[in-house]
Chain A
Amino acid sequence: EAGVAQSPRYKIIEKRQSVAFWCNPISGHATLYWYQQILGQGPKLLIQFQNNGVVDDSQLPKDRFSAERLKGVDSTLKIQPAKLEDSAVYLCASSPGNTDDDEQFFGPGTRLTVL
C-alpha cells in the first residue's frame, strides 16, 4: 500500500515570496492533516480536513496560510507571503477516520527554507 506522498521535498524561497505544497493521502483515508514542525520542536497541527471539509484550523495563520482539499482527496497548503519564521518542515498525514483508533500516517515532509 502506498504511503502519504508529498512534494516537493525541499523548497528554498525568499521572504515575501509565495510557495505551495502538495499532499496525496493514503487511498480511502477520509481525514487529512497538515502539521508544521519547526527545528527542535514537535509537529504542530495547522489544519485538519474531514473529506473536503475543515474540522480544525484554529492554529492556521489565516492572514498568510491557506489550504484546500478539493474532492476530498489531494490537498494543497499555500503560504503567501512567506516570512523568515515560516522556515520549517511541513508534514502531511492521513487517517481512515477521526478517532483515537485511527492511526495517523505521516508523509516524508517538505522542508521549507525562507531566506
Chain B
Amino acid sequence: GNSVTQMEGPVTLSEEAFLTINCTYTATGYPSLFWYVQYPGEGLQLLLKATKADDKGSNKGFEATYRKETTSFHLEKGSVQVSDSAVYFCAFRYYKLSFGAGTTVTVRA
C-alpha cells in the first residue's frame, strides 16, 4: 500500500551544521510530497511541497527535491539555527494526506 518512511530521530546538531532528514515513499501513482514542521508549543504547519518529479520545494532555507527514480524527498538545510529545533514530518498526498512518524531535531547553540 501507499506509505512514507522517514529517518528516525532524535537528531541533535550544533548551530550552522548541515541537516538532512531522509524520506522515501511507496505509492502506486505520483503523489504530491510535503514537509510539515511542528515547532514547540505550536501547531503543525506546511514547510514546503513539490507536486511533480524533479520539482524542488524551498522555504526558510530548507530544500527538498522530488526524486521519482529513488522515490525520495529528502529535506536539507545548509546551516541550521537554534530556531529550527522542531519535529519535522514528511507527507504525501494521494487522495489524502499521509504522514511519516516525524523526526525530532534539536539544534544546540
Binary flags per residue of A44-76, CB closer than 8 Å to B gives 1, else 0: 110010000000100000000000000000000
Q: How many contacting A-B pairs (Cβ < 8 A)?
A: 43
Q: Is A14 an interface residue (CB 8 A)?
A: no
Binary flags per residue of A1-42, CB closer than 8 Å to B gives 1, else 0: 001100000000000000000000000000001000000111
What is the interface size of chain A, counting residues whose CB is below 8 A from a CB of the partner?
22
Closest to B52 in A: A100
| Majority SS at the chain B contact face | strand
| Interface residue from B46, B49, B99, B102 paired with A44 (Cβ < 8 Å) | B99
Q: Is A43 an interface residue (CB 8 A)?
A: yes
Bound state CA distance, A63 and B63, in angstroms?
Answer: 42
Binary flags per residue of B91-109, CB closer than 8 Å to A gives 1, else 0: 1010111111110000000
Query: Contact residues of B with A, CB < 8 Å?
Result: 32, 42-46, 49, 51, 89, 91, 93, 95-102
Contacts A100-B93, A105-B45 known; 17 new A-B pairs at CB < 8 A = A40-B102, A41-B101, A42-B89, A42-B91, A42-B99, A42-B100, A42-B102, A43-B44, A43-B89, A43-B99, A44-B99, A56-B96, A91-B43, A91-B44, A100-B51, A104-B46, A106-B45
